[in-house]
Structure 1
Amino acid sequence: MSIQLTEGVNLHIIPTEKYKTVRIIIKFRTPLDKENITKRALLSSIIETNSEKYPTQTTLRSELSNLFGAGFGSSVTKKGTVHVLTLSLNVVNEKYLTMGDSILTQSLEFLKEIIFHPNVFEGHFDKDTFIREKENLVDYYDSIADDKQTYANLELQKLFFDEESQKIPSIGTMEDLAEITETSLYDYYKEMIQQDQVDMYVLGDVDENQIINQLKGFPFEPRKSKQQELFYVQADFEEVNTKIEYQEIKQAKFNLGYTTDIFYLQDNYYAGQLFNGLFGGFPHSKLFVNVREKESLAYYASSSLDTFRGMMIVQTGIDSKKMGQVKEIVTLQLKEMQTGNFTKEDIHQTKQMLKNQLLQSEDNSSAVIERTYSNQLAKNEIISIKKWMANIEAVTKEEIIEIANQVKLKATFFLSEEVK
């Protein structure tokens, strides 16, 4: 069930007896804006660390222990044209405890404290907390440079996207972080609490009336709905953007970014899933079999879709001297898809693997909520697993070929040691 607690703040209760825990997730959503991406990433870390009532990490973790080892965390992500900050709390269902009949109530009070009573002094975040979390974020940025696969992926996105806010990762940038102060971040926190669209999810075997009554006590003020197109659609382009960067690395990374018309739960979404699975999404795919296995040109080769931004990424780890060969054979595999050079058995196997993926995700309560949230953003309805599977099963070979012919190379990034 879904109800509006106040304008712009919605509660979604997903009753189920499948899990022995109750998952509570609160999502803050706002239009993507370069000026605020890094603030939200830092804010996510600070909110997770302490609050007014729990002013240190030790006291906060002690309270989680009192809640029978509840798991609490935060994260940030992009979905098309919006940025989402997520708070997640997972607690044991009190029905399985002999003396824990108020655990859910206490857990919701804990979240209320974290959200509405941060560790603030005279109009700014606690300085020690702010400095520590800012340093931690700097360390995380530094670590990205050491993770060459992630680094190459982010560099490809800079080449692929036209808008600055799309180029920037969901965790922000070192340059923007330097400009943030404990006062400016607190000012932004107040703006987020007052203006973001809020979706609250409770999944588990719970008393719905209890949940509704308690969450009505969260002092969210009404906020205007921010109507906008969710999906980011790339503008037409003439030339492929390419970049080569040299570093002292053992394994080169060659990534390719393609535009697609595949958007989440839209008419061609399911055919797009089949296309990606056949092209590079699974171990039986063309990229895996031909680039990695038959030709031994890559240590890994795969494709993935971003169906909120109309992007497909091909990632490969290769020998620095073989970039030309790899690009040629990847291009050939796409042409094979475009001409329909794949079998009924290939299609059947891919359909089964997609169905199995979905069924496996049902074992993860966080994944169930994330899929529900994405459904509601994209379609304002929940697509049942049965319907999703039926839509996958209905995809034809002709539809897959049509998708393949809409895919167009937009950018390539090659990270390599300098070949002498």
Structure 2
Amino acid sequence: MDIQLTTGVDLHIIATKQFKVTRILVNFATEQRQISPSARNLVANLLVTSSAKYRTQTVLARHLNDLYGASLSGYVSRVGLAHTVRLKLALINDQAAKAPLFERGSALLKELLFNPLVENGAFDAETYRLQQANTIGNLQSWDDDKRFYALKRLQQTYFTEVAELRRPASGTVAEVQNITSQQTYQAYQEMLAHDKIDIVVVGDVDEAAVCQAMRALDFSPRQSPLHQSLLYHQAARQTPAFATEVQPLAQAKLDLAYHLPAYYRQDNYLTAIVLNGLLGGTPYSLLFTNVREKASLAYYATSSLRAFSGEILVETGINPADQTQARALIEQQVADLAAGKFNDAQFQRVKEGLVNQYVTGLDNPNVLAQARLITALMGLEPSQKVAEGLRAVTKEEVANLAAQMTLEAVFLLDGKGGETDGEA
């Protein structure tokens, strides 16, 4: 059920008796180029920390406990060319609790969104200092995860034409350190007044009651700041970009970014999912079988599909001395896919694994909410017959699509030598 609450604010209800917990996801979206991701990350953290009524994390936690142990989180994410701020509240449903928890939870969301803890046109100074420090700590801990760090640097190497996509959706330590409470409060006001808003509710709910509760949030009308399409197309390079960085590591990270002319919900989208599963996205993949197991050239070797930017990203952890051999073998797996050099049994195992993963996701309310949110942002109806579509993908379709893959960027996080940037 989809309802427009007002211009630019849409409600999506997935009413199901599957779950005893109801999820409410409130998503704010705008163009990445128009905002500071660091400021919006701070906003997300501040909104789920306190409010004018619940002035500390301790007081707010007590209230959540009064709501039968409700859980609350706030975070940022990117969907193609859109930057999103999300608040998520999970409540035991009214039938199981025998109490009006949805109504009380909706009132809490309204308090958090419209009455943050502010003074003199800025977030409360002490609360802001604490959340600023927490956010910096989180960002630093992510960079301490060298696999995550290498993937971030690969994306910075890959994206050349849109500077905003080179910046993490969560912002950077330097930006968070320099943003003031006043600037963050301004980012909050702009988000509340101008962002496209989608609310997704999943659970055993009364649709009329949900509509009434969500209308009570009383968002103002706004024109959507999003492009008609959130997909990003980047022109191909003549030669792949190459970057390397040296850190004191025993295990190097070798990551490759391939352009793949396949995008979310386009005709070859399901073929791209199967292709990625065959390359490195499942335990039956070529990367796992040939690079990790047979050649023993990688501690891990996986791939992931980025369907909003037309990419397949390959991640490996290797011995520094094996980088040349490992890269050659990775590229050989892509060539083998394009040549159709994968057997029928492997192909069927990959497809059935992907179907099982999809079917399992239907039993996860967070997966359902995320899927509906993305289709809403893209202006699409929910997917239909996905399992059948995955099973119908042919070897020829996979090979033809793999033949169109082009290597665009390589990043090596090395444990020896000097630091350089250039062409591969």
TM over 0.5: same fold? yes
Matched, 1:94 2:94: yes
User: Cα deviations across residues 330-379 of structure 1 (Å, max 9, x unaligned)?
Assistant: 11111100100012222211110111111111222111110111223335
Residues 305 and 313 of structure 2 are in contact (CA less than 8 Å); yes or no, is this contact kept in structure 1? yes
Q: C-alpha displacement at 1:233, in angstroms?
A: 0.8
In 2, are the aligned partners of 1:264 and 1:378 still within 8 Å (CA)?
no
- Give the distance between the partners of 2:112 and 2:33, measured in 1 at CA: 25
Amino acid at match of 1:18: Q
- Runs of 4+ in structure 1 off by over 4 angstroms are none
- CA deviation string 1:136-183 (max 9, x = no partner): 111122223321101101111110001111011110012322331111
Tell me which residue corresponds to 1:194: 193
Residue 136 of structure 1 corresponds to which residue in structure 2? 134
Aligned to 2:421: none
TM-score under structure 1 length normalisation? 0.97
Residue 106 of structure 1 is matched in structure 2 by 104
Q: 1:161 aligns with which of 155, 159, 169?
A: 159
Partner of 1:146: 144
How many residues align? The count is: 416
Output the amino acid matched with 1:158: Q
- Shifted more, 208-217 versus 11-20: the winner is 208-217
- The 8 Å contact of residues 156 and 256 in structure 1, kept in 2 or not, is answered as yes
Distance 1:71 1:137 in 2: 20
Q: What amino acid maps onto 1:175 in structure 2?
A: A
Q: Is the 8 A contact 1:320 1:419 kept in 2?
A: no
Identity across matched positions, percent: 36
Whether the 8 Å contact between 2:198 and 2:376 is mirrored in structure 1 is no
Cα-to-partner distance string for 1:105-160 (whole Å, 9 max, x where unaligned): 10100011011110111211000111111111111222233211011011111100
Find the aligned partners of 1:253 and 1:128 in 2 and give their Cα distance.
40
Deviation at 1:236, TM superposition (A): 2.5
Match of 2:117 in 1: 119
Contact 1:265/1:379 (CA < 8 Å) preserved in 2? Answer: no
Q: Distance in 2 between matches of 1:317 and 1:419?
A: 18
Task: Measure, in 2, the Cα distance between the counterparts of 1:145 and 1:38.
Answer: 15
Kept in 2, the 8 Å contact 1:34–1:164? The answer is: no
What is the rounded CA distance, in whole Å, between the counterparts of 1:144 and 1:95 in structure 2?
Answer: 40
Give matches, 1:29-68, under 5 Å.
Answer: 29-33=29-33, 35-68=35-68
Per-residue deviation, residues 58-107 of structure 1 (Å, max 9, x unmatched): 0100000000000110111111100111110000012112xx42211101
Counterpart of 2:14 in structure 1 is 14
C-alpha separation between the residues in 2 aligned to 1:231 and 1:237?
19
Residue aligning to 2:400 = 402
| More deviation, 375-384/10-19 | 375-384
**Cα separation, 2, equivalents of 1:306 and 1:388:** 18
Match of 2:223 in 1: 224
The 5 A counterparts of 1:245-284 are 245-284=245-284
Structure 2 gaps of 5+ residues are 419-424
Aligned to 2:84: 84
